[in-house]
């Protein structure tokens, strides 16, 4: 298979940031995807439907002429989110979900939920209105090893949560372990997961062997190869519980190549080609369209896209760097490396 035409994909997990960042991030994402879930971890976070609508307007100002991009918005769950905000999400035409970050789990998550049991009264509303809860699934206790944080979250937070709210619609974002993949497989249809390109293509050796490579550092952190293998298997299995979410997250080069470097990989400009590379390695290119273009829309109850894109088996070299701020570039995921697929 050398030419692959798919319905235009959507990205169900992306970080666009705000202000000047949007000049880079919005065109990069809009060039590939029709819709994107725009994560709300700004400073300050996007906490209400009204703030989400205003953020969407700022994003729309940077969509290049002639491109049809439809940002889907998400609220940031805090300890103080009022229960009646959930009905407002349900009634909104642009907000689709709410994102829960355990406090301190990742970039700009200080305002996250300190203990999920404190917000069960709001989660009750999510279940009732069938509004998806998007989860960063890691515990944050300092005594828990960074490589075990996702597994501990499944056992200590998610299992009791789903026992309490069996009909809750939920996306476990950017899963990184075989444990999470199996957990999702064991649940009903209302529980799904997104998978990033970096967790399909790389493992912790790529980040740590032969010198530390900060541009592979993201959260949840890359795990061992056996987990990567399971993620590849479930992503390419055709099971609609697993769909595309890049978690593309821009950080300037100086913030990544730093004694205390930021977490996040910037994959937006090459995302669909990177996924094609992973599916091709598994001999499962025929399963890419479901993962990239069908299952996420179906889960969110949105129409599938109608336009198509075409990928061709033609080598391309990922840029060494991209302009970000006047004096600070951004280094994309897999910079300077050659991949086998190009977007026509
Ligand atoms: Zn994210």
Counting as low any pLDDT under 70, the low residues of the chain are: none
DSSP codes of every residue in 173-191: -S--SHHHHHHHHHS-TTE
Instruction: State yes or no: is 10 an active-site residue.
Output: no
Give the per-residue pLDDT at 106.
Answer: 76
Whole-angstrom distance, CA of residue 58 vs CA of residue 62: 7
The pLDDT score that the predictor gives to residue 3 is 97
Q: Where are the alpha helices (DSSP H) in the chain?
A: 22-30, 49-60, 84-91, 120-129, 149-153, 159-164, 178-186, 197-201, 204-208, 225-235, 253-256, 271-281, 288-289, 295-300
- pLDDT given for residue 94 in this prediction: 97
How many Å lie between the centroid of ligand 1 and the Cα of residue 295?
19
Query: 5: buried, middle or exposed (CB in 10 Å: 19+, 13-18, 0-12)?
Result: exposed
222 is in an annotated binding site: no
Residue 199 has a CB neighbour count (10 Å cut-off) of: 26
Distance from Cα 1 to the centre of ligand 1, integer Å: 32
Å from CA of 35 to ligand 1 middle: 16
All structural domains of the chain with their residue ranges: 10-304
Fold assignment, 10-304: TIM Barrel (3.20.20)
In the reported structure, the alpha carbon of residue 27 is separated from the centroid of ligand 1 by a whole-number distance in angstroms of 19
247, 286, 328, 329: the catalytic one is 247
* Lookup result for tokens 């190549």: 257
Is 135 flagged in the annotation as binding?
Answer: no
How many angstroms separate the alpha carbon of residue 13 from the centre of ligand 1? 6
**pLDDT of amino acid 111:** 85
Q: Quick count: other Cβ atoms within 10 Å of Cβ 142? A: 5
Rounded Cα distance between 199 and 193, Å, is 13
**pLDDT score, position 108:** 76
| pLDDT attached to residue 23 | 97
User: Is residue 172 a contact partner of residue 151, using CB atoms and an 8 Å limit?
Assistant: no
How far is the CA of 252 from the CAs of 30, 174, 198, 258, 265, in angstroms? 20, 22, 18, 10, 11
The confidence score (pLDDT) of residue 104 equals: 78
According to DSSP, the residues that pair with 310 across neighbouring strands are 5
305 is in an annotated binding site: no
Ramachandran bin of 264, using left for φ above 0, alpha for ψ from -120 to 50, beta for the remaining angles: left
Is 247 annotated as belonging to a binding site?
yes
Tell me the CA–centroid distance for residue 173 and ligand 1, in Å: 8
**143 labelled as ligand-binding?**
no
* Closest-CA residue to 152 (of 220, 232, 93, 65): 220
263 is in an annotated binding site: yes
The string of DSSP letters for 40-107 reads ---SS---SHHHHHHHHHHHHTTSPTT---EEEEEEEP-TT--THHHHHHHH-SSEEEEEE-BTTSST
């Amino acid at each position: 298979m050398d030419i692959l035409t798919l319905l235009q994909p959507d990205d169900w997990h992306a970080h666009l940031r705000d202000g000047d960042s949007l000049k880079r991030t919005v065109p990069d994402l809009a060039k590939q995807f029709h819709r994107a879930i725009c994560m709300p971890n700004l400073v300050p976070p996007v906490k209400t439907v009204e703030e989400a609508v205003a953020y969407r307007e700022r994003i729309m100002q940077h969509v290049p002429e002639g491109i049809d991009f439809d940002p889907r918005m998400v609220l940031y769950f805090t300890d103080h989110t009022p229960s009646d905000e959930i009905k407002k999400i349900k009634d909104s035409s642009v907000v689709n979900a709410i994102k829960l970050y355990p406090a301190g789990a990742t970039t700009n998550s200080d305002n996250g939920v300190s203990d999920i049991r404190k917000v069960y009264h709001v989660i009750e509303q999510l279940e009732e209105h069938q509004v998806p809860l998007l989860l960063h699934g890691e515990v944050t206790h300092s005594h828990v090893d960074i490589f075990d944080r996702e597994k501990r979250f499944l056992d200590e937070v998610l299992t009791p949560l789903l026992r309490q709210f069996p009909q809750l619609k939920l996306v476990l974002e950017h899963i990184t372990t075989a444990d999470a993949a199996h957990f999702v497989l064991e649940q009903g249809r209302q529980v799904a997961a997104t998978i990033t390109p970096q967790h399909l293509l790389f493992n912790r050796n790529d980040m740590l062997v032969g010198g530390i490579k900060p541009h592979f550092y993201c959260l949840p952190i890359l795990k061992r190869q056996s987990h990567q293998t399971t993620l590849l298997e479930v992503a390419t299995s055709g099971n609609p519980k697993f769909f595309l979410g890049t978690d593309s997250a821009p950080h300037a080069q100086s913030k990544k190549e730093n004694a205390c470097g930021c977490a996040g990989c910037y994959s937006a400009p090459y995302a669909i080609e990177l996924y094609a590379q992973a599916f091709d390695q598994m001999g499962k290119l025929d399963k890419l369209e479901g993962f990239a273009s069908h299952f996420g829309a179906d889960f969110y109850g949105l129409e599938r896209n109608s336009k198509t894109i075409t990928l061709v088996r033609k080598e391309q070299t990922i840029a060494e760097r991209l302009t970000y701020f006047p004096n600070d570039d951004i280094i994309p995921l897999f910079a300077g490396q050659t991949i086998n697929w190009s977007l026509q």
